[in-house]
Structure 1
Amino acid sequence: MKLALWQGAGTPGDLTATVAAAAQAIDDAAQAGAALLVFPEGFLTGYHIPDLAPGGLPGVEAALSQVGAAARASGLGVVMGTHLDRPEGLRNAAVVFGPDGAELGRYHKRALFGGWEKATFVPGDAPCRFRLGGATVGVLICYDVEFPELVRAEAQAGADLVVVPTALMAPHDRVARQMVAVRALENQIFLGYCNRAGTEPGMSFVGLSSISGPRGQTLAQAGTGEETEMILAELDLSEIARERAEASYLDDLVELPGL
């Protein structure tokens, strides 16, 4: 299974331009042989929208339908970061499409970061997993991955791969540089961490998107936040079993005394 991550940004406030950019990235990923393409947190709508309030996201559902159509035309799965205006309130979300364009699920970010997110969004309360290319894939968003319990729960539920649309801004690059690979290693899974590029009001994104393997090894690494680029890696799912054959953190955890 080949995984692709698009480190970039759409055009906040211009859904037409953003969908066109997404469709081009989807086609490029398909041409490169990818089975799954992940976009950053808030790619469709923009991430940091200071005055965002219910009613402030017109056209998003129609734009998501166009993303699904692009996925179907190219025949690959897509995870799209977007904000959603739902009856229960605004959500920071990732919407998953299968290679046939059908929507496979919506994940709502559970660990909201900072005052703006907590004041703007309703937190999610449930996981999202799907099957693609013989793999079970779990979805988290940005700050979620900084909680080892959330990644561990995905691994315990059978996820081979966890994908993480992200909007990691300066000065927090230590998360991308130090923490992400450890989450893959300590759960012996693959992990795709897809960050934004560029800037938004009051924020400069650090880039450093990466694909990590079950030994914590770096399979692909993007540059810093000024660089828009696609990274790809072939995931050998049998590597998970090989890595766990001698010592499985998941199996050994349940045998530890006192826990």
Structure 2
Amino acid sequence: MMLRLAMWQGEGVPDDRAATLQEVERVLADAVEAGADLVVFPEGYLTGYHIPELKADDLADVEEALNAVGRIAAEKAVPVVMGTHVVSAEGVRNAAVVFSSSGEELGRYYKRLLFGAWEKQTFVPGSHPTLFEISGLRVGVLICYDVEFPELVREQAQAGADLVVVPTALMSPHERVARQLVPVRSMENQIFLGYANRTGSEFGLDFVGLSSINGPNGETLASAGTVPKLLLADLDPGLLQRERAENSYLKDLERFRNG
């Protein structure tokens, strides 16, 4: 069964959760009209990404906003992966929250590899992967810097992921990550990979866009420039089967390791 993946490249409305939720509703309406089966938003979309001196008290209304995202997902009858900062028992987290088409929360992935001094000072890193199923495909979640570590993407593939979605806040001058590294991650694991970046600027950071949806042989199925855009691509499980049948990196690696 084909899955039509939608990824929103854009930004929320700074310091205005209600206006950001209106944007979420608009984007989901457009995505559903385009036939999307899953919609992914960038890193920190609901809250903003780079918020100097971010504290738990600054996120007091986020759970209420996430409940609203769940209601919108249910109204539009489409699953959603939402980038946001949240507060957990351990502290502030950089998260991607997954909602089903009925609005049920399916899981929360916490970014495991934190980038730069600000993230390391602000967030508690996650410790485990998150996977869910939709339209017959097993979907894994990573966040931004996570995808730059081949071990984390390989972990998802070895756990059976057919698609890995990556809410992202990639900033200048790191365009090479989107242009060079991301397609390789899909090819070396023979998976689909969706990379959903932000646009605009935030407290001295300029986000570069360059979102993409990539296939299991590294081809780009959909891509964006530097302005807001809704990316769409049809993901064919048959393509995974054909690519893996010719030569399976995972199976060949396992045989190599086992001698």
Which TM-score band (shorter chain)?
Answer: over 0.9
- Give the whole-Å Cα distance in 2 for the aligned partners of 1:18 and 1:246: 45
Q: Determine if contact 1:12/1:44 at 8 Å carries over to the other structure.
A: no
- Give the whole-Å Cα distance in 2 for the aligned partners of 1:236 and 1:258: 31
Q: Which amino acid aligns with 1:72?
A: A
Deviations 1:109-136 (A, max 9, x none): 0000000000000000010000111110
- Give the whole-Å Cα distance in 2 for the aligned partners of 1:245 and 1:237: 12
Alignment correspondent of 1:251: 251
Q: Structure 1: which 4+ aligned runs deviate by more than 2 Å?
A: none
Alignment correspondent of 1:153: 155
- SS across alignment from 1:255: helix
- SS across alignment from 1:152: helix
Deviations 1:148-178 (A, max 9, x none): 0000010000000000000000000000000
Aligned 1:58-137 pairs, distance under 5 A: 58-137=60-139
- SS across alignment from 1:55: helix
- Give the whole-Å Cα distance in 2 for the aligned partners of 1:57 and 1:11: 15
Offset of residue 202 of structure 1: 0.9
Deviations 1:175-204 (A, max 9, x none): 000000000000000000000011001100
- SS across alignment from 1:37: strand
- SS across alignment from 2:255: coil
- SS across alignment from 2:94: strand
Offset of residue 53 of structure 1: 1.3
Offset of residue 257 of structure 1: 5.2
Offset of residue 254 of structure 1: 0.9
- SS across alignment from 1:256: helix
Deviations 1:209-247 (A, max 9, x none): 0000001000000112xx011010000011111001111
Scaled by the length of structure 2, the TM-score of the pair is 0.98
- Give the whole-Å Cα distance in 2 for the aligned partners of 1:243 and 1:134: 18
Offset of residue 12 of structure 1: 2.1
- SS across alignment from 1:51: coil
Alignment correspondent of 1:188: 190
Deviations 1:84-132 (A, max 9, x none): 0122100000000001110000000000000000000000001000011
- SS across alignment from 1:26: helix
- Give the whole-Å Cα distance in 2 for the aligned partners of 1:248 and 1:161: 16
Deviations 1:50-82 (A, max 9, x none): 010121112110111111111111111100000
- Give the whole-Å Cα distance in 1 for the aligned partners of 2:135 and 2:64: 27
Q: Which amino acid aligns with 1:238?
A: G
Residues paired across the two proteins, number: 257
Alignment correspondent of 1:199: 201
Alignment correspondent of 1:50: 52
Q: Which amino acid aligns with 2:8?
A: W
Gaps spanning 5+ residues in structure 1: where?
Answer: none
Offset of residue 258 of structure 1: 8.0
- Give the whole-Å Cα distance in 2 for the aligned partners of 1:133 and 1:97: 14
Alignment correspondent of 2:241: 241
Q: Which amino acid aligns with 1:109?
A: K
- Give the whole-Å Cα distance in 2 for the aligned partners of 1:97 and 1:258: 39
* Coordinate RMSD, CA, aligned: 1.0
- Give the whole-Å Cα distance in 1 for the aligned partners of 2:110 and 2:14: 20
- SS across alignment from 1:230: strand
Alignment correspondent of 1:26: 28
- Give the whole-Å Cα distance in 2 for the aligned partners of 1:257 and 1:125: 25
Scaled by the length of structure 1, the TM-score of the pair is 0.98
